[in-house]
Amino acid sequence: MSTIDGLGIDFAALGNARLIDLAQPMKNGMPQSPNHPPFRMILERRHGDMVRSDGGSASNEVIITGGHVGTHVDALGHVSQDGLIYGGIKAESIQSHLGLSEHGIDTFTPYGGRGVLLDITKVKGVDTLDPGYGITADDLEAAEELAGVKVQEGDAVLIGSGWSRLWDDRLAFQGVDSGVPGPDVSAGKWLQSKKVRVAGAETIAFEQLKPGAGHATLPVHRVLLVDAGINIIETMRLHELLDSGASEFLFVLAPIRVVGATGAPVRPLALIPGA
């Protein structure tokens, strides 16, 4: 078996690997946080608007989007606490109309390594967690035990709530009135203690949002981004990975490199080695 030290993955088997796309499709009207500019795409030029002398034509689009719309990665400079971002840097000293001069998404080193799925729906025996449910540190440990895995330093940890199954129902997915499931502070501190590289989940905010609470406070963002320096992946499409039964896989993560941006869209990939 050919492996790379520390990953424990048989890369020789990747010739028979199953590739699972973990990004939600970006489209007009998709679910998103009301705190960010909406996604828009239009065909600016259509076939036939301009025809070349040889009969050829092309169409192209204009895309307008916030950096935190659709499946995306939060930069460490996205959130501050008491005026400070990760590393104790004063937020006002690194921001301008051109973006962030430190801890922008362009400073994120692309990740290719061990991914671990902690399936909380399997722990609870449901397809989708209840709206507003707070995923605790005990839940994460129970998911570890059930899957027979141990989260290691530097891992990418994905937390399954089944919420991506609701993607096509915008109101339900956003959960403004009903709330959405997500990690609570104890879970955030558990991830911090494990020194994971990145953490991802299926909902817009990677947080437990209680019914009617909206995005009034985001304490887990503070724990991970400001205190621990752990990037967050939000709005992931995890239900196919949940249904696969895989708990360990090769995970690839490379957000769009927008200089100074506080976050950027991404298309994460999971490769499950074949037999």
For residue range 2-45, list pLDDT tens digits in order.
444 455 555 565 678 899 999 999 999 999 998 899 999 999 99
Give the three-state DSSP class for 199.
Answer: strand
* Residue 259 within any structural domain of the chain: yes
Mean pLDDT, rounded, for 134-143: 98
For the chain, how many structural domains are there in total?
1
pLDDT in tens, 101-120: 999 999 999 999 999 999 99
User: In which band, very low, low, confident or very high, does the pLDDT at 214 lie, cut at 50, 70 and 90?
Assistant: confident
* Residue 189 within any structural domain of the chain: yes
- Phi then psi for residue 60, to 5 deg, are -150, 165
* Residue 47 within any structural domain of the chain: no
Length of the chain: 275
- How far is the C-alpha of 206 from the C-alpha of 133, rounded, in Å? 12
* Residue 165 within any structural domain of the chain: yes
- How far is the C-alpha of 252 from the C-alpha of 232, rounded, in Å? 14
Mean pLDDT, rounded, for 224-230: 98
C-alpha separations of 116 from 20, 35, 269, 274 in Å: 14, 30, 13, 17
| pLDDT score at 14 | 63
Listed residue (34, 29, 80) closest to 214, CA to CA = 34
* Residue 31 within any structural domain of the chain: no
DSSP 9-28: -BGGGGGGPEEEE-BPPP-T
CATH classification at residue 157: 3.50.30.50
- How far is the C-alpha of 102 from the C-alpha of 86, rounded, in Å? 10
Query: Domain limits at 193?
Result: 11-26+67-272
* Residue 110 within any structural domain of the chain: yes
- Phi then psi for residue 113, to 5 deg, are -175, -155
DSSP 105-165: GGGPPPEEEEEEEEEHHHHHT-SSPPTT-EE-HHHHHHHHHHHT----TT-EEEEE-SGGG
Average pLDDT over the chain reads: 93
| Structure-block tokens of residue 34 | 């009301």
Mean pLDDT, rounded, for 142-149: 97
* Residue 242 within any structural domain of the chain: yes
* Residue 144 within any structural domain of the chain: yes
Provide the sign of the torsion angle of the four alpha carbons 83, 77, 32, 184, taken in this order.
negative
